[in-house]
Amino acid sequence: MPDTLEISEDMMAKIAEIEDTSKFQHKIWSAEEDAILLKYWKVKNKSQLSKVIGVSETTARERYLKLTKDYPD
C-alpha cells in the first residue's frame, strides 16, 4: 500500500456535501419534537418517525429515553 493515497477531486466534492457529525452533537430539541417522541415513539415506526423529526433513529431513541428518565445523564 502506498504511503499516501490520492483522492480524486470528484470524490472530494461528494465528500464535501456530506454533513459533519458535529451538527447533531448539540441538537436543540423543540417542545414539538419532544411531544412527538413522547406520544408516538412506542406506537409508530421508529425509523420513519426519526426521519420526520430529522435525526437518526439512535439520536431519537436517546432523546426519548432521556425524556422518560430511562437514560442515564
47, 59 in Cβ contact below 8 A? no
- In 10 A of CB 29, how many CB atoms? 15
pLDDT, residue 40, reads 98
Nearest CA among 71, 70, 65 for reference residue 34: 65
Low-confidence ranges of the chain (pLDDT < 50): none
pLDDT, residue 71, reads 58
pLDDT, residue 5, reads 87
